[in-house]
């Protein structure tokens, strides 16, 4: 299946289907002499790198690869520099292509390398995680600074996204759970039917019905694409994609990156945002059923009990969405109707206390 995304730079296609890694060359928008594939150690070890190399060798004279260590640690300046050095030494130029083969880490890092190498060259995303259905679309690319996540980055749209759904089968359960939270988020902010489908048919993440997952990823990408097309630079509605992330980011930072995945933290943040939506916007939604579903999918809701409420609030205050010191959260008037809302700090504190007491 194919989706078209209109960015201010150019229009690109997202191809979604099984085993696409064997035919990446078929979907390239131009011809290229030199191609550099960037991946991480896990993805290489699974054999995906060699499969993509074999295919691309049919297309380009020179196909190179560069493997970075797996995990968030690779989204940093010195790995970025190593990649730039490698690209220069291999003689890449403005007519070359860089391929990001992996999850969101490889995608963000590689995209930023492509955005800055010789002031910007073509790259394509070949996502291999559920989470990357989200991160590979929209052109936000970045690396982390020791003082904060994603602080150094750019907007640089890919020339294409080639999403091989078969690669998801090898994902560890905890990574499926992380990515699936963003799928749920897309349903909550934009598509009631999609959410109902998921709640009805996904009872475990160990084995997800392939058809259900495919449809959900397709719809999720469509929703993300639709939002970023209207607000590429996050001046308005792109912030709706931040649903669940105000508390989610605070939890991740407070618990320590690595001790909980991004999506697990976002799932807890979404449950909280739903509670606040009920009290602030009279959303009517069966929160209990949703909470039980998250528990069934083994999202670690109880972990918030071990965190300091005051520190969480402090962290929520430094969120990018805030303006003049006021805390802003994305809330839902209804499923599919998000709205950015300013919350009084004292009310937020009492909401968070209630939330933590009732979470298990």
- Using CB under 6 A as the binding criterion, the count of chain residues that bind ligand NAD stands at 29
Q: CA-CA distance, 32 to 37, in Å (whole number)?
A: 13
The binder of ligand NAD chosen from 55, 71, 86, 298 (CB under 6 A): 71
315 is catalytic: no
Query: How far does Cα 315 stand from its chain's mean position?
Result: 21
- Is 105 a binder of ligand NAD (CB under 6 A)? yes
- Is 134 a binder of ligand NAD (CB under 6 A)? yes
The binder of ligand NAD chosen from 35, 43, 113, 268 (CB under 6 A): 43
Nearest to 159 by CA among 2, 14, 35: 14
The binder of ligand NAD chosen from 68, 161, 162, 171 (CB under 6 A): 171
Using the minimum distance from each CB to ligand NAD, give the nearer residue, 132 or 208.
Answer: 132
CA dihedral 343, 345, 350, 353 (to 10 degrees): 100
Selected catalytic residue, list 42, 185, 222, 262: 262
The binder of ligand NAD chosen from 128, 239, 242, 275 (CB under 6 A): 128
226 is catalytic: no
Alpha helices (H) along the chain: 41-45, 48-57, 77-89, 104-116, 132-135, 173-190, 192-201, 210-230, 245-255, 262-281, 287-296, 309-317, 345-358
182 is catalytic: yes
Q: Helix axis angle, 245-255 relative to 262-281, nearest 10°?
A: 140
The H helix count followed by the E strand count for the chain is 13, 11
Selected catalytic residue, list 234, 278, 295, 333: 234
Using the minimum distance from each CB to ligand NAD, give the nearer residue, 126 or 335.
Answer: 126
* Contacting ligand NAD within 209-268 (CB under 6 A): 262
Say how many CA atoms lie within 13 Å of 21 toward its Cβ.
Answer: 23
Q: What DSSP assignment string belongs to 72-110?
A: GGGSSHHHHHHHHHHHHHTT--TT-EEEEEESHHHHHHH
With beta carbons less than 8 A apart as the criterion, state whether 175 and 131 touch.
Answer: yes
Selected catalytic residue, list 119, 211, 288, 357: 119
With beta carbons less than 8 A apart as the criterion, state whether 64 and 34 touch.
Answer: yes
The binder of ligand NAD chosen from 5, 24, 36, 42 (CB under 6 A): 42
Selected catalytic residue, list 34, 176, 214, 242: 242
Using the minimum distance from each CB to ligand NAD, give the nearer residue, 264 or 351.
Answer: 264
Question: Is 132 strand, coil or helix?
Answer: helix
Using the minimum distance from each CB to ligand NAD, give the nearer residue, 176 or 291.
Answer: 176
Residues tagged active-site: 119, 140, 182, 224, 234, 238, 242, 245, 249, 262
Applying CB under 6 A, the residues found at the interface with ligand NAD are 40, 42-43, 46, 70-72, 75, 102-106, 108, 128-129, 131-132, 134-135, 138, 140, 150, 167, 170-171, 175, 178, 262
């Amino acid at each position: 299946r194919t989706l078209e995304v209109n960015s201010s730079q150019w229009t690109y296609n997202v191809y979604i289907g099984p085993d696409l890694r064997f035919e990446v060359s078929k979907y390239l928008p131009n011809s290229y002499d030199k191609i550099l594939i960037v991946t991480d150690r896990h993805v290489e070890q699974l054999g995906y790198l060699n499969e993509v190399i074999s295919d691309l060798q049919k297309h380009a004279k020179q196909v190179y690869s560069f493997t970075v260590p797996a995990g968030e640690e690779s989204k940093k300046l010195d790995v970025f520099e190593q990649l730039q050095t490698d690209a220069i030494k291999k003689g890449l130029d403005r007519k070359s292509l860089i391929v990001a083969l992996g999850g969101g880490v490889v995608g963000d890092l590689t995209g930023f390398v492509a955005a800055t190498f010789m002031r910007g060259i073509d790259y394509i995303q070949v996502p291999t995680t559920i989470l990357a259905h989200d991160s590979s679309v929209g052109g936000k690319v970045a690396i982390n600074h020791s003082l904060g996540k994603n602080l150094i980055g750019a907007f640089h749209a890919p020339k294409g996204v080639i999403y091989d759904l078969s690669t998801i089968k090898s994902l560890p359960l905890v990574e499926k759970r992380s990515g699936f939270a963003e799928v749920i988020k897309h349903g909550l902010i934009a598509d009631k039917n999609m959410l109902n489908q998921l709640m009805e048919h996904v009872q475990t993440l160990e084995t997800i019905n392939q058809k259900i997952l495919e449809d959900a990823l397709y719809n999720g990408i469509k929703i993300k694409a639709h939002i970023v097309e209207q607000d590429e630079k996050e001046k308005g509605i792109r912030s709706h994609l931040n649903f669940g992330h105000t508390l989610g980011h605070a939890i991740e930072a407070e618990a320590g990156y690595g001790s909980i995945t991004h999506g697990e933290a976002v799932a807890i943040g979404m449950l909280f945002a739903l509670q606040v939506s009920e009290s602030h916007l009279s959303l009517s939604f069966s929160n209990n059923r949703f909470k039980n579903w998250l528990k069934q999918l083994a999202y670690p809701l109880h972990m918030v009990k071990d965190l300091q409420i005051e520190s969480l609030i402090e962290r929520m205050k430094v969120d990018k969405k805030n303006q003049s010191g006021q805390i802003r959260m994305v809330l839902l008037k209804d499923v599919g109707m998000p709205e950015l809302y300013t919350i009084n700090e004292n009310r937020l504190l009492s909401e968070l206390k209630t939330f933590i007491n009732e979470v298990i």
